[in-house]
Amino acid sequence: MPELPEVETIKNELAPYIIGCIITDVTLLWDRMLRQPSPAQFYHHISGKKIARLTRRGKYLIFRLDSGDSLIIHLKMSGSLILSTDLPPKYTRAIIHLDKGVNIFFCDPRKFGRISLVKDVDNITEKLGPEPLESTFTAEVLAQKLEKRKTPLKAVLLNQALVAGIGNMYADEALFTAKINPLRSADSLTQDEIRRLHYAIKKVLLEAIKNKGASVSNYFRPGGKIGRAHSHFQVAHQKGKLCSICGNSIKRIPIRQRGSYYCPVCQPEKD
């Protein structure tokens, strides 16, 4: 599933080509991906509008239009945005037509992706937690988010209301980097462990952005190329492979119905 590094990569690689472009039309090939408003209102309010800015909040990609409206896209489990002048790629569910003959194809094999057109972005993003790469996300803020939470740490990191943008892959990688077991109770971490985890979250996310995101399944960059972050994973999707630190096998366990990868030697359960 596209997480913060993948959405940030899409934003960075789309922006130079689409900022200042006019949306001439949008074709919805899968109507149910439109969350709001009604199709009639959507087409009326988006046609002819200029893309003034492109931003990201958590896993949301936000096209800020000159009308004051914002087109918000969530790629969910399997979405990608492909910028092209060619015919629609396989699994195209929506097409954003831009002037000069360029199109943005919203490809989504599993049909979970969502599109919204809103006046106030906060109506969709207001419940999101802090951005983990911003300076305001400190170890002290992380400590506050973990305080009094008895649930497994891995599950807490996936809660978008606590920290925005971290998903399954990067939670696994951050916990491995911090050498913390994913089953630990979130409120059980020491101050040193919280500092290690805070550092690991930022490190893992920044490295993944540098490597253009992870193409584990359906993620493609706007130009159609894959990301490289998955080739640097230490534990995520590495079940049965040998840990690069200790040489023992990487394990996969379910935590709150999500598959979690970790090294039981490097990330031991606390006594």
What is the model's pLDDT at position 188? 96
- Would residue 130 count as lying in a domain? no
Whether residue 154 sits in one domain with residue 118:
no
Whether residue 255 sits in one domain with residue 174:
yes
Whether residue 144 sits in one domain with residue 116:
no
Whether residue 241 sits in one domain with residue 150:
yes
Per-residue pLDDT reduced to its tens digit, 28-44: 999 999 999 999 999 99
What is the model's pLDDT at position 1? 75
Angle separating helix axes 168-178 and 191-210, nearest 10 degrees: 130
| Count of domains forming the chain | 2
Q: Residue 93: which CATH number?
A: 3.20.190.10
> Among the three residues 70, 95, 125, which one is the final residue of a domain in this structure?
125
| Torsions phi, psi for 113 (to 5 deg) | -65, 155
- Would residue 154 count as lying in a domain? yes
pTM over 0.85: yes
Whether residue 148 sits in one domain with residue 245:
yes
Whether residue 144 sits in one domain with residue 119:
no
Whether residue 145 sits in one domain with residue 218:
yes
Whether residue 163 sits in one domain with residue 97:
no
Whether residue 109 sits in one domain with residue 18:
yes
Kindly state the percentage of the chain with pLDDT values over 70.
100
CB half-sphere exposure, 212, CA atoms < 13 A: 14
Per-residue pLDDT reduced to its tens digit, 92-106: 999 999 998 899 999
32 given a catalytic annotation: no
What is the model's pLDDT at position 257? 87
- Would residue 134 count as lying in a domain? no
**Token pair in block for residue 161:** 């209301």
Q: CA-to-CA distance for 12 and 133, rounded, in angstroms? A: 15
Whether residue 247 sits in one domain with residue 190:
yes
What is the model's pLDDT at position 154? 97
- Would residue 161 count as lying in a domain? yes
**CA distance to 36, 58, 62, 71, 133, per residue, from 124 (Å):** 11, 11, 11, 11, 20
Whether residue 78 sits in one domain with residue 192:
no
The one catalytic residue in 11, 76, 110, 258 is: 258
- Would residue 133 count as lying in a domain? no
Whether residue 92 sits in one domain with residue 158:
no
What is the model's pLDDT at position 223? 96
Compute the average pLDDT of residues 11-37.
Answer: 96
- Would residue 258 count as lying in a domain? yes
Per-residue pLDDT reduced to its tens digit, 134-178: 999 999 999 999 999 999 999 999 999 999 999 999 999 999 999
Report residue 262's pLDDT band, with 50, 70 and 90 as the boundaries.
Answer: very high
What is the model's pLDDT at position 231? 96
Report residue 179's pLDDT band, with 50, 70 and 90 as the boundaries.
Answer: very high
3 given a catalytic annotation: yes
> Among the three residues 125, 155, 190, which one is the final residue of a domain in this structure?
125
Per-residue pLDDT reduced to its tens digit, 189-240: 999 999 999 999 999 999 999 999 999 888 999 999 999 999 999 999 999 9
The one catalytic residue in 2, 130, 132, 152 is: 2
- Would residue 271 count as lying in a domain? no
Question: Which domain range does residue 107 map to?
Answer: 4-125
- Would residue 269 count as lying in a domain? no
The one catalytic residue in 3, 6, 8, 173 is: 3
Report residue 266's pLDDT band, with 50, 70 and 90 as the boundaries.
Answer: very high
b/e map 221-240, b = 16+ CB within 10 Å: bbeeeebebbeebbbbbbee
What is the model's pLDDT at position 220? 95
CB half-sphere exposure, 132, CA atoms < 13 A: 33
The one catalytic residue in 49, 59, 114, 145 is: 59
Q: Residue 195: which CATH number?
A: 1.10.8.50
Q: CA-to-CA distance for 3 and 165, rounded, in angstroms? A: 6
The DSSP result for 79-128, as a single string, is -EEEEESSSPPTTEEEEEEEGGG-EEEEE-TT---EEEEES-THHHHTT-
Q: CA-to-CA distance for 211 and 5, rounded, in angstroms? A: 9
The whole-chain average pLDDT of the chain stands at 96
154 given a catalytic annotation: no
